[in-house]
Amino acid sequence: MTDTPAASLRTAVVTGASSGIGAATARALAAAGHHVVLTARRKDRIEALADELTAAGRSASAYPLDVTDQTAVDTFARSLDRCDILINNAGGALGLDPVAGADPAEWRQMYETNVLGTLHVTQALLPALTASGDGTVVVLTSTAGRGTYEGGAGYAAAKHGQQVLTETLRLEIVGTPVRVIEVAPGMVRTDEFALNRFKGDAERAAKVYQGVAQPLTAEDVADTIAWAVSRPSHVNIDLLVVRPRAQASNSKVHREP
């Protein structure tokens, strides 16, 4: 699905745009008047969303992409005419096993998607973001990138890695016309985050949110991203930690009986 954007439209690339926070962010940025390039592995999903957005008069296109494939990411970057905003959203959690019994393959996969995926896409698009004269990189980390919890070591380690990448990038490119924003959500109830974590075990996934009055929605997080990227160019929102009111920390959650 391709839609040629008007040359004047600022282009926002969203990774992991097939569902959840990525899809909601693509909708929010398209509504804000950007041309949105949706990327994810699931072609059907991003094409359907791009079609939905263009039918609603927005500007959007879809490009199937696995962020762990550096060659594919570089090819994708070369296909773009411009890039003003990059939303590094692709990633996720696998498993909730204690360190003593955790599966190294799951840890490796989480590092590949969350950390190396962000590295690949950011490296590939940084020249275009800089050339735009007013670029923005957003990295979706997690409150698991700023603390940990039992069973969360593999995911927290990956999110800490992604957070360090983000902070280091900001140091390294200061003085260039690109700002670097980290958004760290806490408990967000999406269709797939917990389901993927527990390999499709819906009952286990539902327990994550059990009794929590109002976990955040993907739209809540997308709203904070759209706000952060729409600040005046000289304003860099370094870090936004966003949790539901019922969650005081990673391990302190109020649940109604």
Q: Which residues are catalytic?
A: 155
Rg (the chain; Cα; Å): 18
Kindly give the pairing relationship between strand 85-88 and strand 135-140. Answer: parallel
Whether the Cβ atoms of residue 228 and residue 240 lie closer than 8 Å to each other: yes
Pick from 142, 166, 190, 224 the residue near ligand 8X3 by CB under 6 A: 142
Contact 22, 89 (CB under 8 A): yes
The stretch among 57-65, 141-149, 209-217, 219-227 that binds ligand 8X3 (CB under 6 A) is 141-149
| 250 part of the interface to ligand 8X3, by CB under 6 A | yes
CB of residue 112 vs ligand 8X3: minimum separation in angstroms? 17
- Residues 64, 135, 152, 154: which binds ligand 8X3 (CB under 6 A)? 152
Site string for ligand 8X3, 157-196 (x = CB under 6 A): ----------------------------xxx---------
Closer CB to ligand 8X3, 126 or 222, in the complex: 222
Contact 39, 65 (CB under 8 A): yes
Q: Which of 19, 132, 143, 190 binds ligand 8X3 (CB under 6 A)?
A: 143
Rounded to an integer, what distance in angstroms lies between the CA atom of residue 46 and that of residue 3?
13
Is position 144 an interface residue for ligand 8X3 (rule: CB under 6 A)?
yes
Q: What character string, x for contact with ligand 8X3 (CB under 6 A) and - otherwise, covers 86-105?
A: --------------------
Distance from C-alpha of 134 to C-alpha of 1, rounded to nearest angstrom: 27
DSSP labels, 137-177 = EEEE--GGGS---TT-HHHHHHHHHHHHHHHHHHHHHBTBS
Q: Which is nearer to ligand 8X3, 135 or 244 (CB)?
A: 244
How does strand 178-185 pair with strand 239-242? parallel
Nearest-CA neighbor of 36 among 14, 4, 65, 8?
A: 14
Least distance (Å) between residue 128 CB and ligand 8X3: 28
CB closer to ligand 8X3, 120 vs 243: 243
User: Does residue 246 belong to the site contacting ligand 8X3 (CB under 6 A)?
Assistant: no
**Nearest CB to ligand 8X3, comparing residues 64 and 145:** 145
* Residue 26: closest CA among 8, 39, 10: 39
Applying CB under 6 A, which residues contact ligand 8X3?
A: 142-144, 152, 155, 185-187, 250
